[in-house]
Amino acid sequence: MTDHPSCPHRAPAGLTLRAATPADAAVLCEFVRELAAFEGLAHECAITPEAIAEHLLGPRRCAAALLAELDGQPAGFAVYYRTFSTFAARPGIFLEDLYVRPAFRQRGLGRALLSAVAQIAHGRSSGRLEWTALKWNESALRLYDAIGARRMEEWTLLRLTPDAIAQLAGPCTPRTLAHCSCGGTGPHHHPVNDEA
């Protein structure tokens, strides 16, 4: 984002975008819970400030977050992480969550957060910036259409829950290294450093 008067991506007055820090764990937890309620998925939301501190803000984080503050008030957030496209042969960014509190909507904060993540992706020479949207969220879909995002209708999102992951992984997991038939040489014993 820029404050240059002729820039089409000019930030709304009073808006600050910044990288989240460990001190932001509680507010990020509130944002995620609000997003889950907005999406009708509060019953699936198990987020805690401790989980955010460990997985999103800690030294071995697997994603990163941006906070939007308007006139000093927490207004929204974005969570993103690195990906890799074998077809594009380049790294990418996946935008996991984008949320603006209702009182701050229709002021350009969602677009500002998207633009900030796009700047990170561009700075990393990303081949793709991708995310999902709920089909019923028409206001978000209008924004995404307006910025030139292409809907990937031919793809289906697939998900395994923790129980299904454990079943598919079978008895040979990193926690059972001493008893693993691969002798500790399999790919499941070598975690990838996936810092956001």
Which token pair is 13?
């007055």
Instruction: Say how far apart CA 196 and CA 126 lie, in whole Å.
Output: 13
Distance in angstroms between the alpha carbons of the first and the last residue of the chain: 20
Residue closest to 111 by CA, chosen among 142, 65, 83:
142
Instruction: Say how far apart CA 190 and CA 57 lie, in whole Å.
Output: 22
Per-chain mean pLDDT for the chain: 88
CATH fold group of domain 15-155:
Aminopeptidase (3.40.630)
Q: What local confidence, expressed as pLDDT, does residue 3 receive? A: 44
In whole angstroms, what separates CA 129 from the centre of its chain?
11
Domain limits, the chain: 15-155, 158-188
Tens digit of each residue's pLDDT (9 = 90 or more) over 154-169 = 999 898 989 999 999 8
Tens digit of each residue's pLDDT (9 = 90 or more) over 11-46 = 789 999 999 999 999 999 999 999 999 999 999 999
Residue 164: Cβ within 10 Å count: 10
Q: Taking the CA atoms of the chain, what radius of gyration do you get in angstroms?
A: 19
Q: What is the mean pLDDT of residues 64-84?
A: 97
Q: What local confidence, expressed as pLDDT, does residue 45 receive? A: 96
Q: What local confidence, expressed as pLDDT, does residue 91 receive? A: 96
Q: What local confidence, expressed as pLDDT, does residue 1 receive? A: 46
Is pLDDT larger for residue 177 or for residue 67?
67
Give the max Cα distance, the chain. 64
pLDDT confidence tier of residue 170, bands split at 50, 70 and 90? confident
Q: Is the pLDDT of residue 186 over 70?
A: no
Determine the residue type at 172: C
71 contacts: CB under 8 Å, gap ≥ 6: 14
Q: What local confidence, expressed as pLDDT, does residue 182 receive? A: 63
φ and ψ at 175, to 5 degrees? -70, -15
Residue 98: Cβ within 10 Å count: 23
Helix (H, G, I), strand (E, B) or coil at 155: coil
In whole angstroms, what separates CA 71 from the centre of its chain?
24
Q: Is the pLDDT of residue 194 over 70?
A: no
